[in-house]
């Protein structure tokens, strides 16, 4: 029996509960036994990417403690948070118990699409979403974790789904965590270009595998007055026919 621990991430926990519920539904449908370590909080990514390594360390320690209690793999709906976990070994001196635990957990922490395609060997999760969708490739999934085709394989198996290519699909949407608030004017231009390409695709939905990009692009579409909805990949995979 496959087991997994849920790493829900701050953004998904606070803004996208449907994504987490969908993740649980899909994984349980595939026969995965899930546990949820309740002591988990933020993985420290915002602090780490701002340069505050000393402040990241206590958050990393807490995270390692929370997930280190079980040997089960960890699965998360966010590529950037998984990428952060894979940086944990750099935060602790080699040879220390924390470093060992960090290396161990970094090797068994997976982003959702990675977990499905590479750990479970599943591409068809039985979703049905009869709509025209386009896909934005998030930087951390694509270049951070090297997941270039996984989301598209999963989308390709969804009944009724028509995938429309997105112009400049692999270009950053301008979120970039703290970047979006440190340089909002640049972030806005990048987001506007992304939104323009999404609108030009003619899709009804844009599918995104990362909460940060999703909040950015969904907000951008809203401000642009577009009726196109932004959905997390998991919401589309969990859909059973109607609109998500």
Instruction: Provide the total of helices (H) and of strands (E) in the chain, helices listed first.
Output: 13, 8
The answer to whether the CB of 116 falls within 8 A of the CB of 125 is yes
Among 180, 207, 228, 235, binds other proteins (CB under 8 A): 180
| Alpha-carbon span 215 to 217, nearest angstrom | 6
Q: Does 169 bind other proteins (CB under 8 A)?
A: no
The answer to whether the CB of 235 falls within 8 A of the CB of 22 is yes
Shorter beta-carbon distance to other proteins: residue 50 or 96? 50
Among 30, 72, 128, 183, binds other proteins (CB under 8 A): 183
The answer to whether the CB of 102 falls within 8 A of the CB of 60 is yes
Among 54, 71, 93, 227, binds other proteins (CB under 8 A): 54
Q: Does 44 bind other proteins (CB under 8 A)?
A: yes
Q: Does 218 bind other proteins (CB under 8 A)?
A: yes
Find the shortest distance in angstroms from Cβ 123 to other proteins: 26
Structure-token match 């695709």, residue found: 201
| Count of residues engaged in binding other proteins, rule: CB under 8 A | 63
Among 26, 59, 64, 101, binds other proteins (CB under 8 A): 59
Site for other proteins in 99-128 (CB under 8 A): none
Q: b or e along 134-157 (b: 16 or more beta carbons within 10 Å of the residue's beta carbon)?
A: bbbbbbbbbebbebeebbbebbee
| Alpha-carbon span 85 to 189, nearest angstrom | 30
Structure-token match 């440190």, residue found: 182
Find the shortest distance in angstroms from Cβ 139 to other proteins: 4
Find the shortest distance in angstroms from Cβ 62 to other proteins: 5
Provide the 8-state DSSP code for 167.
T
Provide the 8-state DSSP code for 228.
P
Find the shortest distance in angstroms from Cβ 184 to other proteins: 5
Q: Does 21 bind other proteins (CB under 8 A)?
A: yes
Q: Does 5 bind other proteins (CB under 8 A)?
A: no
Find the shortest distance in angstroms from Cβ 18 to other proteins: 9
Phi, psi of 134 (to 5 degrees): -125, 160
* Site residues (vs other proteins, CB under 8 A): 8, 10, 12-17, 20-21, 24, 36, 38-42, 44, 46-55, 58-59, 62, 139, 143-144, 170-172, 174-191, 193, 215-216, 218-220, 222-223
């Amino acid at each position: 029996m496959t087991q997994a621990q849920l790493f829900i991430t701050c953004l998904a926990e606070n803004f996208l509960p449907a994504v987490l519920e969908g993740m649980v539904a899909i994984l349980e449908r595939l026969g995965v036994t899930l546990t949820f370590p309740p002591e988990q909080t933020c993985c420290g990514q915002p602090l780490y990417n701002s340069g505050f390594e000393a402040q990241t360390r206590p958050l990393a320690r807490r995270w390692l403690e929370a997930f280190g209690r079980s040997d089960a793999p960890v699965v998360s709906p966010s590529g950037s948070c998984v990428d952060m976990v894979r940086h944990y070994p750099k935060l602790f001196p080699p040879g220390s118990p924390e470093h060992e635990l960090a290396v161990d957990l970094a090797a068994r922490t997976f982003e959702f699409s990675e977990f499905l395609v590479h750990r479970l060997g599943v591409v068809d999760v039985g979703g049905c979403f009869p709509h025209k969708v386009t896909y934005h490739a998030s930087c951390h999934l694509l270049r951070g974790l090297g997941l270039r085709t996984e989301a598209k394989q999963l989308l390709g198996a969804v009944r009724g789904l028509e995938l429309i290519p997105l112009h400049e699909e692999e270009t950053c949407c301008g979120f970039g965590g703290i970047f979006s608030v440190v340089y909002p004017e640049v972030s806005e231009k990048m987001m506007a270009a992304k939104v323009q390409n999404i609108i030009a695709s003619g899709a009804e939905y844009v599918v995104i595998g990362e909460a940060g990009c999703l909040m950015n692009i969904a907000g951008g579409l809203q401000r642009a007055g577009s009726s196109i909805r932004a959905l997390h990949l998991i919401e589309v995979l969990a859909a059973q026919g109607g609109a998500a």
